Structure 1
Amino acid sequence: MRHSFLFLFAVAATLSGIPGFAQKNVSYYNEPYRPQFHFTAEKNWLNDPNGLVYYKGEYHLFYQHNPYGKGWGNMHWGHAVSNDLLHWKHRPLAIYPLEGTPDHYKCPAFSGSAVVDRNNTSGLQKGNEKTIVAIYTAMHCGQRVVYSNDAGKTWQPYPTPVIPVMKNGTMDERDPKVFWHEPAKKWVMVLYIGPDKDQQERGIAIYNSANLLQWEQKSFIKGMYECPDLFELAVDDNPAEKKWVLHGADGGYFIGSFDGSTFIPETEKIKMDLGNNFYAAQSYSDIPAADGRRIQIGWMNGGIYPDAPFNQQMAFPCVLTLKRFPEGLRVCRNPVTEIKNIYGEKFVITNKMVQPGSNILSAVKGDALDIHAVIEPGTAGSFGFVIRKGSYETSGTPVRYDARNKKLSVLGKTVDLEPVNGKIELRILADRASLEVFANGGKISLSGCFIPVYTFNDLEFFCEGGNVKVESMEIYKLKSAWQK
């Protein structure tokens, strides 16, 4: 996909310059700024998560990837698999540009999605394995299909585009997200369409298909931009009440109704993640009904990782739920419970009054942490956490709650946050160069990248202007998902 802020990525690429790459030894995935529980490519550029699909115990993660350098370009689909969304195994490249050489590609492999064709509607299945079908944008060459009959190990291209390049004056059609709509017994595709001479506003086209190979446009929704996703969620976990969510690359979403062909928004656009670094999120298809979660992974765009062989990282996988609040329905995001698989040493504090100038976390050190806290603001004007203490001036503002003005700030981004029953609940995932903060049950989330002084691993909880009460605080040091 094409982005308007590529200059940030060029800066990131110039800051990285290690020739070659370390083999699997004690230094594997252990560079100073290498995330320890967020997904990164072994080396070179990464952006949008693509083709998120679950099949036979494996979560497949495809992603936009430049195998030839640390800057955006030469788009292929990288590929990795995991059985717990934490411990990833790299697979060979899955999708290549259709034509060209490393110096000049025609039809680079832009973003898309993948599904399991369980009923062989496409007729592509050969053998006993169900066919995994990936639908993606071959830029300037239409929407294309590749498929696998060996559980995603190898991929075969379908010979012709399933949606040719449109003849309406635009080449900007991309990022197909496909799913099976059971009530209508048909496949649905949401596809970004850029503005053209007749259609003055960009938006999302909705298509239907019986077989994944022939598609018909049914409707169009204005005002959305790239990497769309459309899915259904139960309201307050009640299976008798469900709504549909239409989500775009910038994190904006509508809640509404969907009949298989037409989405009708019932809200204004709402922002799903309010941080500095969150883009092009996609949710998994084919999660078993016994699990039932809507699992999402986003790209933490624009992060900078000095002197690293890789560039960019994924956000941590989150479960999406739909909750009712006084102001209406909102999507909540919370980390998947599988993070417990890498829990290490645990620190617990309960019912503790904290005064300004004290640090109740002086014994806690680490560059990968999962922090759970419930705080009563008390008389304090503000309180929060300094992550990687000593890096403060280089990493931006810490996690801070302004109790008087009821605002939460994370790495310089500030949002409104009202207490619930007089308390603020915070969940913080801290990795070597990123913070993801989830507030009040995931109603608010902010994802951000930062550059700490990598040798500083202290943690501080502070309060200013008065005392606060820590009702509960649990902090887990996280083991590396990449080290045996």
Structure 2
Amino acid sequence: MFAKTASVTRQQFLTDLLRPQYHFLPPSNWMNDPNGLIQWQGKYHLFYQHNPTGPLWGYMSWGHASSDDLIHWTDLPLAIVPTPGGPDEVGCFSGCAVNNNGQPTLVYTAARGEKYEIQTQCIAIGDETLLNWQKYAGNPVLAQVPSESGQTSDFRDPYVWKEADAWYMVIASRIKDVGGVIFLYKSDDLLNWEYLHPLLIGDKQRNGDIWECPNFFKLGDQWVLIVSSHVTVATDTVLYFVGTYDNHQFTPIYEGVLDYGELYAPLTTIDDQNRRLLIGWLREARSSQEQQLAGWSGVQSIPRILTLSNNRLLMTPIPALQSIRGKHHHYTPANLLDNGFLDVNSLSLDIEAEFVPQPASNCGLSLVCSPDDPARIDILYESASQRLVIRNIASQHDSSLSHAENNRHVDKNFGFEEQVDQLTTHDQQTLTVLTQSIPHALAPDERLQLRILLDGSVVEIIANNRISLTYRIYRSNAQRNHLQLIGEKSLVQTLDIWEMPSIWQ
């Protein structure tokens, strides 16, 4: 019954060209962090931060959906909601799901107080269907913020895993006037937690003053810590640290940016194929008023498989995405023109491109509304500077530019550059040009590989599996998206484009 009602709800958005069709999002209203991604009895279950009452943040509950393949999803009833008078009376915040010896268990942050400032850790226990959840009567199971934090409010987003001797948990917080911190805990039963020590302490000037949504896991021979850096006066970003983990002490040897764009608060899990999977919230880049009018907000990324190479995190969209590909367009230099338009236009595309960059040349693709419209998104590689460049040319009132004035100082510590210019067209139309670039040095003889997932207002860009930038574009006149080659056709090794269907029809 719930799935049928959800399907009817989704029908009201069929004419919304900005709403993604092959990415997961709830039937309506607000969604943010993914929570509790878990594989249970052969099915994947995704929980997520959800406001069932409207398209803006509030009344934080856990939405729920299941899938056989991480592509097609079935909407399920809410898992947990705030309990009046309980420790989570103003919100069931982010957390994770674990299999506790055959007993599905949610571990989450409960919020109280007028400003959500009282944050404690709670659990809920489910039945074998994962549809019925009972909050533990002894909640909260952890309430005290470690004294070295120097504050009492930011203490959230538990991530739990099992080692040979016990359960372990990391919780994100901050140390006053120092920066973000991840605290490490140990438990035999998920109910009684012993504080061990900080797993890692950050530097607010380099990587943000508050950390959120930690993930900590072994990948190959190393351990990876992912944190979402929440900066009170700037744009949030997602960082990762690769290092060693001995005697419960983590020593980072590499630090990088997981995504330079709108992906935030990712969550990982390992499945029965031994794949480390990641999914993240794709934030909106338009105003609250526009989100309210749209009736929905928030999208989940296409799940990615994580691997390591030379201590750098590599990300690949799951192969199951290929199973829904539609009409195929294949290009080589023989059927292309220099800077020519391609005979494909669609709202939803999966693009695989490989270029052979040459010195002092640019190569890439441009997403345009129509051949006659100056508005466009250029995705290109500058060989001279060895940078991946995203150039958004739009009208001054375009929602895609709403983040143009944001402070990106954490990203800039990792080579991110941003510039805003004005452009006047031949017909005296004033356009804004937002140029963002990321360092992307290619090894000798290494080709540029681009994977671009275009879906309504979502653009996921992955370069050589190691650079990720997720973009949101809102073109009010976008009936279809047209593609144009940037650069000489001789720089193209292969270019394959698939039109993508809706996963809901």
Which bracket does the TM-score occupy, shorter chain normalised? 0.7 to 0.9
Of 438, 445, 469, which aligns to 1:446? 469
- CA deviations 1:404-457 (Å, max 9, x no partner) are 3222123543112233415211111111001111111x1111111111245432
Instruction: Name the structure 1 match of 2:285.
Output: 303
Post-superposition offset of 1:70: 1.4
- CA deviations 1:208-235 (Å, max 9, x no partner) are 111111111112021171110001111x
Of 40, 55, 63, which aligns to 2:25? 40
Instruction: Name the structure 1 match of 2:193.
Output: 215
Post-superposition offset of 1:106: 3.1
TM-score normalised by structure 1 residue count: 0.82
Give the partner amino acid of 1:386.
S
Q: Secondary structure at the match of 1:397?
A: strand
Post-superposition offset of 1:81: 0.9
Give the partner amino acid of 2:106.
A
Say whether residues 1:72 and 2:50 are aligned partners: no
How far apart in 1 are the matches of 2:160 and 2:376? 39
Identity of aligned residues (%): 31
Say whether residues 1:469 and 2:487 are aligned partners: no
Aligned residues: 427
Instruction: Name the structure 2 match of 1:252.
Output: 239
Q: Secondary structure at the match of 1:132?
A: strand
Structure 1 portions without partners, runs of 5+: 1-19, 119-129, 235-241
Report the structure, 1 or 2, having the larger helix content. 2
Instruction: Name the structure 1 match of 2:396.
Output: none
CA contact (8 A) 1:388 1:453 kept: no
Q: Secondary structure at the match of 2:323?
A: helix
Instruction: Name the structure 2 match of 1:424.
Output: 448
Instruction: Name the structure 2 match of 1:409.
Output: 389
Q: Secondary structure at the match of 1:340?
A: helix
Post-superposition offset of 1:320: 0.7
How far apart in 1 are the matches of 2:375 and 2:268? 30
CA contact (8 A) 2:54 2:295 kept: no
Post-superposition offset of 1:388: 4.4
How far apart in 2 are the matches of 1:253 and 1:81? 28
CA contact (8 A) 1:385 1:459 kept: no
How far apart in 1 are the matches of 2:439 and 2:178? 34
CA contact (8 A) 1:370 1:476 kept: yes
Post-superposition offset of 1:166: 3.3
Instruction: Name the structure 2 match of 1:164.
Output: 143
Q: Secondary structure at the match of 1:106?
A: coil
Per the alignment, do residues 474 and 357 of structure 1 end up closer, same or farther by CA in structure 2, a change over 3 Å counting? closer
Give the partner amino acid of 1:59.
Y
TM-score normalised by structure 2 residue count: 0.78
Post-superposition offset of 1:266: 2.2
* Equivalent residue runs for 1:33-432 within 5 Å: 33-99=18-84, 106-118=89-101, 130-139=102-111, 140=118, 142-160=120-138, 161-166=140-145, 168=147, 169-182=151-164, 185-196=165-176, 200-220=178-198, 221-223=200-202, 225-234=211-220, 242-249=221-228, 250-259=237-246, 261-267=248-254, 269-274=255-260, 276-285=261-270, 287-288=271-272, 291-304=273-286, 307-324=293-310, 329-352=311-334, 355-359=337-341, 361-362=342-343, 364-378=344-358, 381-390=361-370, 397-410=377-390, 411=392, 412-420=435-443, 421-432=445-456
Per the alignment, do residues 135 and 372 of structure 1 end up closer, same or farther by CA in structure 2, a change over 3 Å counting? same
Post-superposition offset of 1:257: 1.5
Per the alignment, do residues 396 and 459 of structure 1 end up closer, same or farther by CA in structure 2, a change over 3 Å counting? closer
How far apart in 2 are the matches of 1:143 and 1:391? 54
Structure 2 portions without partners, runs of 5+: 112-117, 203-209, 229-236, 393-434
Of 478, 481, 484, which aligns to 2:503? 481
- CA deviations 1:174-198 (Å, max 9, x no partner) are 000011123xx211101012335xx
Give the partner amino acid of 2:136.
Y
CA contact (8 A) 2:243 2:251 kept: yes
How far apart in 2 are the matches of 1:394 and 1:461? 12
CA contact (8 A) 1:21 1:309 kept: no
Of 452, 456, 459, which aligns to 2:482? 459
Per the alignment, do residues 158 and 149 of structure 1 end up closer, same or farther by CA in structure 2, a change over 3 Å counting? same
- CA deviations 1:11-60 (Å, max 9, x no partner) are xxxxxxxxx99826865655221111111121111111111111112111
